[in-house]
Structure 1
Amino acid sequence: MSKMQDLGIINIRVDERLIHGQVATMWTNSLRASRIMIVGDDIVHDDIQKMALKTAVPAGVRLSILTAEGAAKRILSSKYSDQRVFMIVQTPKYLKMLVENGVPLETVNVGNMSTKEGSKQVKKSVAVTPENIEDFNYLNEHGVSLIAQMVPSENPQKFMKLLEEK
């Protein structure tokens, strides 16, 4: 069992849509997740977005919406060690913050990042900004394996290789 699994984290995904059809059905079911953890400092202070997430979470699955610092404290205190937590962030900056706070991230699935001004397309559903690239490089340099996988049935691709090719 990996260190993250010992802490209860079974999957980490970058998906700016957070909880949507693919996450609520395919991913949560295939992972047999008991909790979805949304990590995002901005979301914690956005009542409308929090309400939308609460209505989107699948029945029987618990939901946590935490700042990066709050998530790090809870994860490292083994609060979730008896659960199956599926962590989702909108941008890689929150994963960088988790690493900076001592969370031993191992593998991150880069799922969906839409095109923005100044971004470059890496994969059909993934476009990255220069800031995103910096954050992914930081994660890579800190031993985090980055994969790109839209749905559970798709074969994962090495994300840094995709990034280098573009």
Structure 2
Amino acid sequence: MPNIMLTRIDNRLIHGQVATQWTSYVGANLLLVANDKVANDKMRQGLMDMAAPTGVATRYFTIQKTIDVIGKAADRQKIFIICETPQDVLKLVEGGVPIDKVNVGNMHMADGKRVAVGVVAVDDDDVAAFRALRDKGVKIEVQKVPSEAKENAEKLFI
């Protein structure tokens, strides 16, 4: 069983808050970005590598590759999975990745989205994905950084 320390939804993927606060807070030594676009974008990977803490490995896998290889992770790997959308997390869960909790950090406002809570904007597809995750027993928490209080995740379902 993979040693997943945290799964987070943050459309910025690896950036300052992830690198400096969440990674050390959960004790991760591997940042795994599960994202189909970034898996094939060496430039974005390079930018994110620069934000990653020293001594912490990074991997950039497609959703399917994550599903296929996560079970082969070594016990010493303390994995922090970062996804861009709730739909990606749902695909991982449906593919058998043992995720029992997801931290929602940042989902930018865009056309067709509405602010649900804090810096999290959702559309109907996002709400449906969050509901499906909850129905599968995944606990959903909204929290920007570890030092701040969790926000009301129920607002994601409205």
Regarding TM over 0.5, the answer is: yes
Kindly state the Cα deviation for residue 52 of structure 1 after the two structures are TM-superposed.
Answer: 1.1
Kindly state the Cα deviation for residue 81 of structure 1 after the two structures are TM-superposed.
Answer: 2.7
1:7 aligns with 2:2: yes
**Percent identity, aligned pairs only?**
34
SS of equivalent residue, structure 2 residue 58: strand
Quick one: which of 138, 143, 151 aligns to 2:145?
A: 151
Unpaired runs of 5+ residues, structure 2, are none
Does the 8 Å contact 1:120/1:128 carry over to 2? Answer: yes
Q: Which runs of 4+ in 1 moved over 6 A?
A: none
Kindly state the Cα deviation for residue 158 of structure 1 after the two structures are TM-superposed.
Answer: 4.6
Number of the residue aligned with 2:39: 44
Number of the residue aligned with 1:111: 105
Partners of 2:109 and 2:74 in 1: CA distance: 34
Partners of 2:88 and 2:133 in 1: CA distance: 11
SS of equivalent residue, structure 2 residue 116: strand
1:76 aligns with 2:90: no
TM-score, structure 2 as length reference: 0.93
| Cα distance per residue 1:109-163 (max 9 Å; x no partner) | 000001010101011211012221121111111111111011101222452x122
SS of equivalent residue, structure 2 residue 44: helix
Does the 8 Å contact 1:9/1:80 carry over to 2? Answer: no
SS of equivalent residue, structure 1 residue 58: coil
Kindly state the Cα deviation for residue 82 of structure 1 after the two structures are TM-superposed.
Answer: 2.0
Number of the residue aligned with 2:15: 20
**Aligned positions of 1:86-97 closer than 5 A:** 86-97=80-91
Partners of 2:124 and 2:151 in 1: CA distance: 21
| Cα distance per residue 1:34-71 (max 9 Å; x no partner) | 11110001111222211211222111000010011111
Number of the residue aligned with 1:162: 155
Partners of 1:38 and 1:62 in 2: CA distance: 11
Partners of 1:80 and 1:96 in 2: CA distance: 24
User: RMSD of the TM alignment (CA)?
Assistant: 1.4
Does the 8 Å contact 2:117/2:152 carry over to 1? Answer: no
